[in-house]
Every structure is written in C-alpha cells, then in structure tokens.
Structure 1
Amino acid sequence: MTTELRVLRPEEWDQWYGRLELAFGGVPESPEERALWSELTEHERSIGAWEDGECVGTAGAFSFRVSVPGGSFVPAAGVTMVSVAATHRRRGVLTSMMRRQLDDVRALGEPLAVLTASEPEIYGRFGYGVATYQLSMDVDTVRGGIVAPPGTDDVRLRFAPVEESAGACEAVYRSRLGSRPGMFARTPGWERLALLDPPADREGASAAQCVLAERDGDVVGYVRFHNKPEWDASGPNGSILLRDVEALDPAAYAALWRFLFGIDLTSRIRVRNRPVDDPLLHLVTDVRRCGVRVRDSLHVRLVDVGAALVARTYRTPVDVVFEVADPFCPWNEGRWRLSGDAKGASCERGSGPADLALDVRDLGAAFLGGVTLSSLAAAGRVRELRGGALAEASTAFASDVAPWLPHGF
C-alpha cells in the first residue's frame, strides 16, 4: 500500500495521538495531560503518515524561541511527538517525515530545529547533535548537608498553593531566561506544563507542593516537589521528588535546598534534571553522597548554518572558515567563514582554504557552548586544517555557564 504524508487535520488528532501513545508503550496518558497536549499542538506544523486510513507515523513541531550565547532568543522548531508504528519500521517513514519537516522549517526561516530523543542514536543521521546535558542525583540528606552562603537566613520561606503561586513562579523563571543558553521563552499555555500532576505519575508520592522564597515581600525563588513517605525496620526513610527549583540569587537558592534537606521523615532527594554545573554541587558538604549522573538532553540541528552562527555571539574574537558536511540538508554544505566576537558576528559563504572540517551534527553540538570543538576533535569528529584554528574556535564558541533545557516538550 502507498503511505501518504500530510498535515494533521484537527479532527484526526485523537487517532494521531493515540498512535503516538501506542508507539511509546500503549499506556494512555491522563485526561489532563491529553487535554494540554491537544491544546498546545500546532496542527499546521504536525504531520502524519497514513496508510489505508490508518495513522502509521507521527511528527510535530512547536514554534519556540531558544536562548543562545549572548542572551538572544532564536526561533527554533521544537521537534516532538515523533513515532512510527511497529508494523512499519524500516520502510522509510521516519526519513520521509524528517525530510518534510526540515524542508518546512527552512521555508519558515527558522535557523534551528531542536529535540529531545527517546533513543539518541536515531537523530544523528538527520544532522542533530547533542548540545546540552542534564544532571540527575539521588542525594543522601542524612549523611550530607548544605553550607549556605551569607544572607541565607534573611530569606523567608513559606508554603503556597501550587496553582495560586504559578504566576509568581513563572515570573522567577522569566527572570532567569537569559542566564543560560538552551532555555525556552515560554509562550502562553506552556506554563501549565509545570502544573500537570496526574496521580498515576507520582510514584506513590504526595500531590505537588510548592514553597516560595521571599525577601522584603518579593518572591525571589521557588521549589516544587513531591513527598514520598516510606518506612523500613529502622524507621522513616522517605524521599523528596524534585520537580523544579529556581532562584534569583545564591542565598535564595541555598535557602530552598537547605529546606529540602531538612524535611522531616525523609532521607534522600531525587533530582532528575539540573544543569551539569548546578551550584548545588558546591553547596553540599559531600558531593559523593549525591549520586551524580549525566545524560543527553537537547539535540540541536542547524537548518541554516549562516543564520544560526550569526544569531549568537562569541566569547573571544574568532575568524575561521568551516568546511561543513551536510548530506541531509545539502544547502548547508560547503565553506562558511565566521567572523565574530562578544558584540556580534557575520557568516558568509567562504571561498578560501578551510580551517576546520566537520559534520553539521557536530556544529550543532557545539552551537550552545556546552560541548567544545576541542573535545569533538579529540573524538575524531572535527579536523583541524590550519594550525591554531581549533583552539581559536573552541574558545570562542564556549559558554561561561552550561546550557540547559529545563523541561521536555
């Protein structure tokens, strides 16, 4: 049978999304989750593969703006909801959807496409590189503590209803937006993602709780979490399941973590997504008690190499010619001369000798400044063609703070 690829019609959403759920194990999401994703879906940016009236493939995109080194926000297609029916694997369905999607992103003039991957090995062949990583921890709060900086005792903490405090929490998040590359400027509706709290997803823990940090009557931070009571032969052994925590200054951040460490009847904090350079690593008395692990997070694809490299600034002056390989999006292939510094950049087609040669995937990995070109070169993925060019470009691309994606999409 012939597979038809077409833009999603609103009346097809339930079947389309049901196919996605089936591909990810077949466990239906809660009604509140389904309702939110239905509302957030951009139908004109979603495509389905159909065969004889049955949906056999799904892919969508959200219209995001992502922070980049220098503090600007760049339009990006947030690739999401990608699946292929188990009955239709290895038939080119995924490749055809990726082809259609990147062509559409280019036509819209968005220089970037980004995604989080259920299986990281899938998307490299389509030009996506791992640009951010996330920290997870199982923190032992019995045999560890917090060394708080001056001013921590001046921060007032109070419980607040999750829904009622959402506006204050979102204001703190917005204030933090320019602090790291990789964060999304949330459009209306996206703030509700942090409020989803279906009982089936709590792992036996409490409903979400929120504590606000205040100074002089102003909210300067917040933490949202679940409390999971547990007991064993030795007594209470509960866990705190962290949802998210943000603060506007070091004292407020330390105050929130000190509060989490001191919650009665608990002995650990389970953390699933923090920046790899999170200040907590320097607040704890014993980092070995934190069970630190790292995994990939945001994958970045340069859809328009020239526009993408101009959209960010560079830590130090740089003037290099890249030889870019991009067989999936051949309009990017060839030589690009990048000249830039902390004030701005230009990037034009280059005709002179190349200084560095790399695949577009690796340029995407380095784009947000968390993965160095030097480390990619050490893995054989970047070739230096002019002596000194690698160090020059690697230093210029680096970010002072690690890029980070606060939540999935």
Structure 2
Amino acid sequence: MSLEVRNITEADLHEWVRAVNTGFLRPPEALAEQVEQQRPQLEPERTLGAFDSGHCVGTYRSFTQRLTVPGGGQVTSDAVSSVTVSPTHRRRGLLSRMLAADQARAKDRGDLLSTLIAAEYRIYGRHGFGPATQITEWRVDTLRSGLDPRWSGPEDGGRVELVDGADVRRLGPELHERLRSRRHGLIDRSERFWRLMTGDLRRPHIPWKEAFYAVYRSAEGRVDGLVSYTTDDEWEGKMPRVTARVRDFLADSPAAERALWHFLLSIDWVTRVESGRRAPDDLLPLLLPDPRAARVTTDSDYLWVRLLDVPGALEARSYRAAGSLVLDVHDPSGYAAGRFRLDAGPEGASCTSTTSAADLALSASDLAALYLGDESALRLAALGRVSEERAGAAARADLLLRTARRPWCPDMF
C-alpha cells in the first residue's frame, strides 16, 4: 500500500504526537497531556503527517517566524519543526515529500526563507539548507578565572537584582525585542516560550527544575540584561563543588553582559559555570583575567537557513561596503536557482535576475550559509564548494556579506 502524506486532522493528533515521540526517542509517557499542550500551537494547514495504513510514521510542522538579518531588518521565515520519520519507514522519501509540500506553500505565501535547527548535519544540505549560525558553550572554572570573588556589584551605577519568574515574563519580552532589533540571527519569542522558560507552562515529558533569575538595571533604571540559571548541590569533603548552569542569558549592552557574567562567577559555593548556548564571539572568555579558565564544551552549527526568494532575502539585509556581485545559484528544487546581480552598500541593496557573466557559482545551501554573514566565501572556495568565476570574487563576496559580529541564535524550536 502506498504511503500517504497529508495535512493532519483533529482525529490524527494523538497518532501524530505518538509518532513525534517515536522519532525523538521519547518514552510514550503522559501522551494525553502532550496532545493537549500541542494542540494550541499546531496549525492544521501547516502540520503534515505520513501515514501507512492509518498509522502515522512521519511528522512535520511549520509556523511563521521573524528572523533578524544583518542591519536589523526582519524577514518572515517558514520555521520547520517536529520533523521525524519512524525507524521502520526510513529511506522512502517521506521527508522529501513533506518538505517539498511545505516549501511550495511557503513560497506561495511570500516567505523569503525557511529556518530549522538540524538534529543531524547531513540531512538538510541536499534540500537547500545551509548552517547560518554557530553556537559555543563554555565551562568556566570560577576559582581559576581571576575575577575578584568578593565582587559585590557593578561599578557603573547599575545594579543586579534577583527576580522571579513572573518578573521575567513581564520584563523579558521587551528586553528580547530590543536586543533582537539589532542582533542578527535572533528569532522572535512567543508568550508560550516565556511561560515554558519560567515554568508557568511545563512539558509533561520533561522534568522541571526551578531556576534562579537575575536582571541588570542600568544607572537609569532600565533592564538591560537578564539571566536564568539552575544549580546543583554537590559537596566533597565539606568543600562546595556547585555548578551553575545558564538557561537563558540576554544582554542589551556590554555593561550588562559584563555585570551578569561577573555576578554568576562570584556566587558563593559556585565553582563552575556552564554558559549555555552563546555566540562564538561572545565576550565571556576575554572578560576573564585568565581566559583559559573557560573551556569550550560545544562548538557547533545551530540555525540553518534555506532561501526561497533570493532577491527578496538579499535586499532585506545590509552590507558593510559598496560593491556588486553576480551569483550563479544551483538549486535542484528551483526556489533559489538562477543568476542574480547584487548591487549593495551601506544604504541598501538591489538584487535582480541577470544574464551577465557570473562572479561566483555556488549551491543554494552554500548561499544560505553565507546569508547571515558568518561563513566565508574564500573558505568555501578553498573547499571547492564555491567556484570563483572571476578572480577576486570570493574576497569581494566576503567584503560584502560578512559581518563584524557573528550571528547568534540560542533558541530551540
């Protein structure tokens, strides 16, 4: 019997959630509660299932997301999540079918791109996605860091205050939106995100541990930083060996960032801090008198991007320098395929189809990796993934596309 890929109905929801759990190797506990929690966020017209004789063996959903691009512009993304194929039905093209159906609809809606967090690296490149941001996690030995353990607060007139989850739900969204308006790579956060992050809403299949919350207020009283963290209670021979694990860390000014890291690294009994998902060029290691106290535990790709409208996406972002570039983009799916002339500068950009000779030839996946300014065209050319059709074109692409700070997205979806 042929496998059917279609939008799910209310009657399919229990089967669909069960299949999501199967794909992510989650035990089928509290399934009824999971169904009730999933129901409000699922859009039936954007939620797909693959079915074999009535049993759901593949899952897929998408939703509208706002992504900040270089320069502070925001683009509408088709955010992809809950993608699974049951182990009994692999290698039958189910992911390709679900992805193709969703991307066709996203293109028709006018979404400029798609985004996802890739559980496995090798799956999505062939579908036109490229890794557009990286995350780094550090483990800091507080006793070796060199910071003053007697630190009692910022010296810039600001202050650090302990707050509770209700305060975070009230103060956090405005801080995040302010930061997101200027930090490319960040995505919007829903009310549901803040409720889950503070325990006001709990996933039935994930144990909850209450966090501590602190904010940094500037001398003017504005909340410019927020951190949430959990701790363990480990002692050895009457000596503390406590680890603080960062759950969320937002800072809209260098002063807030420095103050909150100093706060975390000077908490009594805490001998180790785990940073959570930070940008690779985070201030953390270099603000320590001894940066070697911060050891990298994770350095990996994170947010993946797939361009659906090349001219629209390239015109939405800003560029550090003025220049022109003709890109010959190969895309078997067709969405990003073509030859495009980009005329860009600090004041804006235009991108149009052209028949002019190409400067660079590359795949849709590699263009996506370059889009937020993190990857280097020179590096991709050295790997043989980008073809330099005109001498010096890769260096010119880096001059135009790369950004002074690296893009950052810490949020799972």
TM bracket, shorter-chain basis: over 0.9
Sort the Cα spacing of 1:51 and 1:104 in 2 relative to 1 into closer, same or farther, 3 A.
Answer: same
Aligned in 2, Cα 1:113/1:200: closer, same or farther, shift over 3 Å?
A: closer
Contact kept, 8 Å, 2:285 with 2:292, in 1: the verdict is no
CA contact (8 A) 2:307 2:368 kept: yes
Partner of 2:81: 80
Q: Which amino acid aligns with 2:89?
A: H
Stretch deviating more after TM superposition (8-17 or 43-52) = 8-17
Map 1:1-400 to 2 at 5 A.
Answer: 1-28=1-28, 36-146=37-147, 152=155, 154-196=157-199, 207-215=210-218, 216-233=220-237, 235-292=239-296, 293-327=298-332, 329-400=333-404
Measured after TM superposition, the shift of residue 107 of structure 1 is 1.2
Change in 2 beyond 3 A, CA 1:198/1:40: closer
**How many residues were matched structurally?**
405
Is 2:374–2:406's contact at 8 Å kept on the other side of the alignment? yes
Equivalent position amino acid for 1:23 in 2: G
Q: Deviations 1:2-37 (Å, cap 9, x if unpaired)?
A: 111111223422321221111111325778876554
Instruction: Say whether the 8 Å CA contact 1:130–1:364 is kept in structure 2.
Output: yes
Where structure 1 has 5 or more consecutive residues not aligned to the other structure, the ranges are none
Q: Match for 1:213: what amino acid?
A: Y
Structure 2 CA distance for aligned equivalents of residues 386 and 104 of structure 1: 36
TM-score (norm 1): 0.93
Provide closer, same or farther for how the CA distance between residues 33 and 218 of structure 1 changes in structure 2, counting only shifts above 3 A: farther
Structure 1 residues 193 and 199: CA distance shift in structure 2, 3 A: closer
Note closer, same or farther for the CA distance 1:35–1:270 as it changes in structure 2 (3 Å cut): farther
Does the 8 Å contact 1:132/1:296 carry over to 2? yes
Summarize deviations over 1:74-122 as a string: whole Å, max 9, x none. Answer: 0101111000011101111111111112111111111100110110111
In 2, the alpha carbon distance for the partners of 1:176 and 1:33 equals 32
Q: Distance in 1 between matches of 2:255 and 2:341?
A: 44
SS in 2 for 1:121: coil
> TM-score, normalised to structure 2's length?
0.92
Q: Distance in 2 between matches of 1:200 and 1:138?
A: 27
Query: How far off is 1:312 after superposition?
Result: 1.3
Residue type at the aligned position of 1:284: L
Could you tell me how far 1:65 is from its partner in structure 2? 1.1
Question: Which shifted more, 71-80 or 39-48?
Answer: 39-48
Structure 2 CA distance for aligned equivalents of residues 339 and 278 of structure 1: 31
> In the alignment, is the contact (CA less than 8 A) between 1:236 and 1:265 conserved in 2?
yes
Q: CA deviation at 1:296?
A: 0.7
Does the 8 Å contact 1:319/1:338 carry over to 2? yes
Root-mean-square deviation over aligned CA pairs = 2.2
In structure 2, relative to structure 1, the CA distance for the partners of 1:218 and 1:348 (3 Å cut) is closer
Indicate if the aligned counterparts of 1:156 and 1:214 stay in contact, CA closer than 8 A. yes
- Give the Cα–Cα distance (whole angstroms) in 1 for the partners of residues 334 and 262 of structure 2: 52
- Summarize deviations over 1:308-329 as a string: whole Å, max 9, x none: 11221211112111111101x2
Structure 1, residues 290-337: CA drift from partner, whole Å, max 9, x if none? 11131110011011222211221211112111111101x224323111
Identity across matched positions, percent = 35
